[in-house]
Amino acid sequence: MTENDSPGRVLVETAPLAVVFIVLCKDNCPRCDRRSSASGLSVSFRVTRADGSIVTGTATTGSTGVATYALQLRKRDVLGTYRVTATASVAGLSGSASTNFIVVR
């Protein structure tokens, strides 16, 4: 997982809108010839809204190592900068990545 600090913008004007977060988990085995997809991992998502409130969710990586989580935004949701952090862990090891996005009208 990698981190991205350049925030995207999400425009909330009409009906509910889903913001979808996609995480790709790879095996980082130093003795392996290549990094393979890590399937079956639990990924925790933590979204901190602009007002400091927190929304959490989980997903499991599929055979390609991808886990997805959708956050529903509504017109009444607070405007401003949101931060999402995804954390995957297995066998006592974990990795995480974070990014920001801005909700505007």
The CATH number given to 4-104 is 2.60.40.2550
Domain ranges of the chain: 4-104
Does the structure show a pLDDT above 50 at 2? no
Rounded to whole angstroms, how far apart are CA atoms 25 and 42?
10
Rounded to whole angstroms, how far apart are CA atoms 67 and 81?
23
Could you tell me if 84 and 50 are in contact, meaning their C-beta atoms sit under 8 angstroms apart? Answer: no
> Among 25-34, 55-64, 73-82, which is the least confidently predicted range?
25-34
pTM of the model: 0.78
Q: Which of 22, 20, 21, 25 is nearest to 41 (CA)?
A: 25
